[in-house]
């Protein structure tokens, strides 16, 4: 299949994403996604980022990005936790990393994860610098057909928790608004500043 055919394979005839709940209305799907994923995000925060199967998210491996996506969206999409097989972009351009080169993306991101893990938890400047660069890289990667932003935000909170910080990015909070703007702008420097401002010592 070509890229257009792969793109269409994700969709119902009316353009709404195929889903496990058989929802055919875009707004209903959007609202349902929000409710289900916010509940699962809250579960992770209550349980110190330990998944129901006992796996502990520690921000140590790129595979955790897939684990988070699967947990958030498993009841909605059969491809939860699976990388997209279609190229995507904003404004009609192929802005995000081409799926054909995801092995390269994984390797690059794992290097940034290792760099983050090597930081001293007490050095907030180093922690937030490494975390901001890492999250910006994942944002450009954009590995999933849907749900990238929510997955990234949870992973950012996992990174903070791993270094004994909190990162409160609840919707409508100042941190959330600033985070979203840095993400939309694809601006690593701004993302670093957001984390410098809003990572709080536990």
Q: Where are the domains of the chain?
A: 3-82+102-201
Fold of 3-82+102-201: Fic-like fold (1.10.3290)
All residues at 6 or more sequence positions from 3 whose CB lies less than 8 Å from its CB, including other chains: 86, 87
**Total-model pTM:** 0.96
Nearest to 166 by CA among 192, 128, 199, 120: 199
What's the pLDDT score for residue 172? 84
What's the pLDDT score for residue 91? 65
Average pLDDT of each block of 10 consecutive residues along the chain (202 residues)?
Answer: 93 98 98 97 97 98 98 98 93 79 96 98 98 97 97 98 96 93 94 98 93
What's the pLDDT score for residue 35? 97
| The two three-digit tokens of residue 152, written as one number | 């990234």
| The two three-digit tokens of residue 138, written as one number | 């994942």
What's the pLDDT score for residue 95? 82
φ and ψ at residue 166, rounded to 5 degrees: -115, 155
What's the pLDDT score for residue 120? 98
């Amino acid at each position: 299949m070509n890229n257009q055919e792969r793109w269409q394979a994700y969709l119902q005839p009316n353009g709404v994403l195929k889903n496990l709940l058989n929802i055919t209305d875009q707004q209903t799907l959007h609202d349902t996604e929000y409710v289900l994923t916010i509940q699962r995000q809250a579960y992770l925060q209550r349980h110190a980022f330990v998944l129901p199967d006992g796996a502990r998210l520690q921000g140590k491996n790129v595979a955790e990005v897939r684990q988070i996506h699967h947990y958030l969206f498993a009841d909605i999409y059969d491809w939860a936790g699976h990388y997209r097989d279609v190229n995507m972009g904003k404004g009609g351009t192929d802005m995000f990393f081409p799926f054909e080169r995801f092995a390269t993306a994984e390797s690059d991101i794992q290097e940034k994860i290792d760099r983050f893990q090597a930081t001293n938890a007490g050095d907030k400047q180093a922690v937030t610098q490494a975390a901001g660069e890492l999250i910006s890289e994942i944002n450009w990667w954009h590995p999933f057909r849907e749900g990238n932003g929510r997955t990234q935000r949870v992973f950012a909170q996992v990174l903070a928790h791993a270094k004994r910080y909190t990162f409160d990015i609840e919707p409508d909070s100042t941190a959330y608004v600033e985070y979203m703007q840095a993400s939309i702008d694809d601006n690593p420097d701004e993302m670093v500043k957001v984390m410098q401002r809003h990572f709080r010592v536990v």
